[in-house]
Chain A
């Protein structure tokens, strides 16, 4: 299998879950150093693995990375699209470059990697499975993160259409709409006061463990869920759901710079 953005965080959690299930894991990252760090952790689990550097916004680079992964580990039959970036910023402060970085890694990258994967599976006459790392805020908008709000929703809506396009070829496509899964590299994981303020606001009373996210992501790609396709599964401890008809006073994003999802 191949995981994009697999060197750390949620992508690494996905990669480890696949490795636990017996997969050989190609770890793709923008940074080869980070991909290699992740691959070393996967190798420590006893799985065959290979680290690669790739810019998922480039179709040529994606094709080369698949060539490399298949040369080392054999045909890629499972794909996890995790590559993405996110940082809180007011919409009026999102530069064209920042907008392009966040949206094209997630939207174009998911499309390009999925299409490359599918062309190879179709050419071999074999099916496969894809899982996309989406987010719980795709149904509500995400004021203060306009780039990510657009990007993560595109991943979820293309999930359904890719699943329809490739169902005749036996390629399944699903997504996990993830809630808060703090880790060392996430915005929520870097806060000085830790994750306690996040835990208090979540109905389940805690943030998620990235292992829980990894397991569900990998499960959607296994024969256990062999008839599932086109689904977007929310895994967020109830975070995205309304908890009262009464809402807290509305605070415009530009007035909550110091809030629990403020920007520095």
Chain B
């Protein structure tokens, strides 16, 4: 089928913090402008699926680095994004992307669990500001991830907030 999301993100300025070629490609194909500068409509924060260690081999500094990227930066970044949206009097969308809770080590289990319930909480706290907050927890990094992210960033997903979504069976 020749389905495409042409124009779904036309006019939207999206900052994809972290690396996901699939999300970047899908957002561009849907008409978004990818930028970290100026007024943003969507903030996507990606933490790549990394290596896992048994819990007793994780040094505290490594633990902190995981939680810092997988949780702290996400909260603080979302907070800044939402502040900016409110200051401009516009809505927006936040999308967190990372590995599933049980996919990696205890550091990821803690970070992703916290992130999921943070997603649900912020989705409600900012709902009346028109700011949606969703989360994709998956090992996948292909076209479906990109298209799902583009959908969640778009106005077609205007009634989706506080959702934590996987892609593959074991996500």
| Chain B interface bracket (under 10, 10 to 19, 20 to 34, 35 or more) | 20 to 34
Query: Any chain A CB within 8 A of the CB of B140?
Result: yes
Distance, CA A219 to CA B156, complexed state (A):
11
State whether A241 touches B158 (Cβ < 8 A): no
Q: How far is the CB of A204 from chain B (nearest CB, A)?
A: 5
Known: A204-B127, A224-B3. A212 touches B168 (CB 8 A): no
Within 8 A of B (CB), among A192-242: 203-205, 208-209, 212-213, 215-216, 219, 222-231, 233-238, 241-242
Check if A74 is an interface residue, CB within 8 A of chain B. no
Cβ-based interface call for B163 (8 A): yes
Binary flags per residue of A151-181, CB closer than 8 Å to B gives 1, else 0: 0000000001001100100000000000100
Contact yes or no, A205 B127, CB < 8 A: yes
Does A243 sit at the interface, judged by CB under 8 A?
Answer: yes
- The answer to whether A227 touches B167, judged by C-beta atoms less than 8 angstroms apart, is yes
A231 neighbours in B (Cβ, 8 Å) = 165-167, 171
Q: Are A21 and B169 in contact (CB under 8 A)?
A: no
CA–CA, A225 to B3, complex, Å? 11
Q: Is B151 interfacial (CB 8 A cutoff)?
A: yes
**Neighbour of A163 across the interface among B124, B145, B161, B169, CB < 8 A:** B169
Q: Which of B127, B142, B159, B161 contacts A212 (CB 8 A)?
A: B159
User: Known contacts A227-B140, A235-B160: does B124 contact A222 (CB below 8 Å)?
Assistant: no
Q: Which residue of B lies closest to A219 (CB)?
A: B151
Q: How large is the interface on A (under 10, 10 to 19, 20 to 34, 35 or more residues)?
A: 35 or more
Q: Are A21 and B3 in contact (CB under 8 A)?
A: yes
B142 near A227 (CB under 8 angstroms)? yes
Least CB distance, B112 to chain A, in whole angstroms = 16
Q: How near does chain B come to A242, taking the closest CB pair, in angstroms?
A: 7
Residues of A at under 8 Å CB distance from B? 21-22, 160, 163-164, 167, 179, 203-205, 208-209, 212-213, 215-216, 219, 222-231, 233-238, 241-243
Q: Enumerate 11 A-B pairs (CB-CB under 8 Å) in ascending A order.
A: A204-B161, A213-B159, A224-B151, A228-B168, A229-B168, A230-B169, A233-B160, A235-B159, A237-B161, A238-B161, A241-B120
Which B residues contact A (CB, under 8 angstroms)? 1, 3, 5, 120-121, 123-124, 127-128, 140, 142-145, 147-148, 151, 156-163, 165-169, 171
**CB-based closest 4 A-B pairs:** A203-B127, A227-B144, A224-B147, A208-B159
Q: A204-B128, A226-B143 are in contact. List 15 more A-B contacts (CB 8 A).
A: A21-B1, A22-B1, A203-B123, A216-B156, A216-B157, A219-B151, A224-B147, A224-B151, A225-B147, A227-B142, A227-B145, A227-B168, A234-B162, A235-B160, A242-B124
